[in-house]
Chains A and B, each alone.
Chain A
Amino acid sequence: MAQRIGKVMAQVAMVMNLDKCIGCHTCSVTCKQAWTNRGGVEYVWFNNVETRPGQGYPRQHEDQDRWQGGWKRTAAGRLKPRAGGRLKRLATIFANPKMPSIQDYYEPWTYDYEHLVSAPLGDDIPGARPRSLITGDPMQIEWSANWDDDLAGGEELGSQDPIVKKIGDKVKFEYEQSFMFYLPRICEHCLNPSCVASCPSGAMYKRAEDGIVLVDQDKCRGWRMCVTGCPYKKVYFNHKTGKAEKCTLCYPRVEVGMPTVCSETCVGRLRYLGVILYDVERVGKAAAVKDERDLYEAQLDVFLDPDDPDVQAAALRDGIPQRWIESAQRSPIHMLAKRFRVALPLHPEYRTMPMVWYIPPLSPVVDALSETGHDGEDADNLFAAVDTLRIPIEYLAELFTAGDTEPVKAVLNRLAAMRAHMRRLNLGDTPDETIAEAVGLTGRDIEQMYRLLALAKYDDRYVIPTAYGVDEADRGVIDEIGCSLDFEGGPGMGGPFGEASGTPQPASVETFHALRDRQTSDDAAGAARRFNLLNWDGNGRPPGLFPARDQKHSSARDQKHSSARDQKHSPERDQQVRNEEAK
């Protein structure tokens, strides 16, 4: 009989297939548009894509000797935040000694676009100079969130990668021998989150239902310890509001069964989302195993098999809804991480039990083999080639298994076996079961894995149950409330206690009216349409060319007034529009 099953909890987790990432940054951009296109978080990317080898964002965040993130195992075998326990945290609360500065991220900027149209007439074409978004002064751009993208900066920047420093000459930067791959990163929504442990206010928490780690904006007091505590540096300090912010795993979407914005918009379709059931009572012990190379296996042991009747009974006992258990049975995360064992955690040695896992990249192995005159898709050739891949296994092992190359090699062998097996099927050869057996799988397993990895249908990639208290009928329904942060006391701008306190004001009068018209109009296009000047032939005065008369004089100050009045279409305005149409 297996281990006793303690309290069962559910976690919405993610797997990313690095072989498919083309480094297009679409995830980063859509995430930024959705969550961090506000003042105070200009420098913040909840999702960022790093080129490895490279320093990452913020620069060299993996160097925990310097940044002191994550947990440390004490001599007594207990866990303690690396930056210090409770007393030390409170003693250093007046100035966090290990907090990255804005220069470690990058100084955000915009361009002086107005100069393009306001510059005096002259011989030179006017340019738009960069201006700092922190001070407003002209600045020299020297770094950004992906300054070393695609190995830009070569050895000079790449050699500063903490992993390159560690494994030394295994990593080549000469053009012919260089390698790179992309590593998209979001918050790991860890099972043992050290950011939560570091928060003196208790404002950070892990949701018991779905494991999403969030910051309570009303409870955060800006002590900044979470920024230090997170070894992935995925908690950020909003310098306008003075509060911590982080990736929310797009919980408003996940609650209604939709994938996160980064997943939904991923061009390579490399992200998977699903539920993992785990035994929360095993987490502490697993995170504290002595040898950090055992952490990967220890974390796998924390995950429970949703097909096991005992686990199902325990899950129901602990209040997990039946549909979550069924969802966990179809979870692509469970399949990739535990059943096929092709996904690996990012930096398990931080002992936070991260829950965004990665399928390591196989490198362009087939072409490389074919060039040497070998059959590039023959299983034996592939297995032999895995050891001499262009991306050194040691590098991947430092990322995913605390330096242990065996699990990485096993994963790459499985991926190679999948190629060899599927080629035989596609060419109509008899399937060779020995290929699958060599990597500890069956032919059927490999075909199932192929469907999940190569075909990757939308419904296979995202298996997300609706949240507790949200009905299945609400799947995909997000109430349109405008900006999700526009609630009373939310992080809108303006107020007497600093830029961001008090009740928010709308971004601009124009969007305010546009949004309201759209929400209250009967037809899709909205009542107060604006006329597209590009289609204008210059004749007459088409409706919408000028704003309606009663709106023309409304200003931000009398919005409250006018919004109540305009909520229904005022008869005068309708009359006016009709008059103008008649003309």
Chain B
Amino acid sequence: MTPTTLDYLLWGALPYVVLAILIGGTIWRYRYDRFGWTTRSSQLYESRLLRIASPVFHFGLLVVVIGHVVGLLIPETWTDAVGITDDMYHVTALSLGAIAGVTTLGGIALLIYRRRTNGPVFSATTVNDKVMYLVLVAAILAGLTTTLLSAVAGLTGGHEVDYRETVSPWFRSIFILQPDVTAMTAASGAFKLHALIGLTLFALFPFTRLVHAFSAPVWYLFRPYVVYRTRGREPTPASRPIRRGWT
């Protein structure tokens, strides 16, 4: 399949626009709105449902993210080299992916149900949040669809287009600034849709509450418990800032 102009726009140009928005937007948000950079937790209002739904969603999502990293970044030749057959790889990837995806979807469904039915939580929901939820759920649904389609194709013996020969090379090619539009053009419609929604999510990322993911507090593991901060040395009279008044 030869790429059309639209393919070049979507898979050749759009990724760079999204990258620019993601990086530039994050920097801008950090400088302009560090105070708004928070999880905006609603646990104070309601904690019974949250205590189940939120960990289910987040841990599911963590597995999904790791799955994406492995699937997109590790080339097929590498796994072949260590002796993992295609079938082994796909069975593991699809089963793990399906479990993680369904868990994530279940978690977010429960979270959205909570958000809609609990009065205080709903009234603390902004338009920004609603748009974000929409795109996030769409991304998860499209991702699960690709997984299911691949699984069905595997079971029925039909040959579904392997994402490791289409989407993954394209994804890696973006970062060496030579986007492999042909590879992505060959991918199936479900993968294309999932990639597009994913790109939308990345573009929205810096402008939503999702930014809290960027401040995952891993550093906590390595710092002493009690934090001291100092205002610096006592300034000498010469370095003391001049204040209003007569002295």
Contact = CB atoms under 8 A, between A and B. Distances in A.
Interface string A344-370: 000000000000000000000000000
Given A101-B46, A221-B212, A239-B42, A135 B217 contact: no
A489 B37 CA distance: 11
A468 interface: yes
Contact of B234 (A202, A224, A321): A321
B240 interface: yes
Interface string A65-102: 00000000000000001000011011011111101011
Contacts of A99: 43-44, 47
Interface string A453-489: 0000000000000011101011001010000000001
Nearest to A137: B119
A400 interface: no
A94 B54 contact: yes
Interface residues of B, number: 58
24 contacts: A86-B221, A90-B220, A94-B55, A95-B52, A134-B123, A135-B119, A192-B226, A202-B219, A202-B227, A205-B228, A208-B230, A209-B231, A222-B40, A237-B41, A237-B44, A242-B39, A469-B235, A477-B245, A489-B35, A498-B40, A498-B126, A501-B33, A501-B36, A502-B36
Contacts of B244: 479
A135 B227 contact: no
A136 B41 contact: no
A218 B35 contact: yes
A200 to B, nearest CB: 3
Contacts of B159: none
A204 B123 CA distance: 29
| Chain A binding surface, main DSSP class | loop
Interface in A311-364: 319, 321
A499 interface: yes
Contacts of B212: 221-222
B40 A197 contact: no
A87 B232 CA distance: 32
A241 B45 contact: no
A317 B59 CA distance: 50
A222 B244 CA distance: 38
B43 to A, nearest CB: 6
A54 interface: no
A239 B124 contact: yes
B85 interface: no
B217 A239 contact: no
Interface centre among A99, A192, A204, A497 (most CB of B within 10 A): A497
A218 B41 CA distance: 16
Contacts, number: 174
Given A87-B221, A193-B226, A202-B220, A469 B231 contact: yes
Given A87-B221, A94-B55, A101-B45, A207 B230 contact: yes
B208 interface: yes
Contact of A471 (B36, B44, B52, B240): B240
A224 B54 CA distance: 14
B128 A201 contact: no
A502 B229 contact: no
| Chain B binding surface, main DSSP class | loop
Contacts of B45: 101-102, 134, 239
Interface string A219-257: 111111000000000000101111100000000000000
Interface string A116-158: 0000000000000000001111000000000000000000000
Given A208-B231, A220-B38, 18 more contacts: A89-B220, A95-B47, A95-B50, A96-B43, A101-B47, A135-B120, A197-B226, A201-B220, A207-B229, A208-B230, A241-B36, A242-B39, A469-B234, A474-B243, A489-B35, A495-B33, A497-B209, A500-B35
Nearest to B208: A497
Interface of B: 29, 32-47, 50-52, 54-55, 57-59, 119-120, 123-124, 126, 128, 207-209, 212, 215, 217-221, 223, 225-235, 240, 243-245, 247
Interface of A: 81, 86-87, 89-90, 92-97, 99, 101-102, 134-137, 192-193, 196-197, 199-202, 204-209, 217-224, 237, 239-243, 319, 321, 467-469, 471, 473-474, 477, 479, 489-491, 495-502
Contacts of B37: 218, 221
Contacts of B217: 90, 93, 200-202, 221, 223
A134 to B, nearest CB: 5
B231 A95 contact: no
A487 B226 CA distance: 28
B228 A206 contact: yes
A473 B247 contact: yes
A467 B232 CA distance: 12
A86 B128 CA distance: 33
Given A196-B227, A206-B228, A242-B40, A221 B209 contact: no
A483 B230 CA distance: 25
B35 A224 contact: no
B38 to A, nearest CB: 4
Leading 3 A-B pairs by shortest Cβ distance? A501-B36, A200-B217, A197-B225
A500 B223 contact: no
Given A319-B234, A469-B235, A474-B243, A498 B225 contact: no
Nearest to B235: A469
Contacts of B207: 496-497
Contacts of A136: 123
Contacts of A495: 33, 36
A220 B223 CA distance: 16
A220 B240 CA distance: 30
Contacts of A205: 227-229
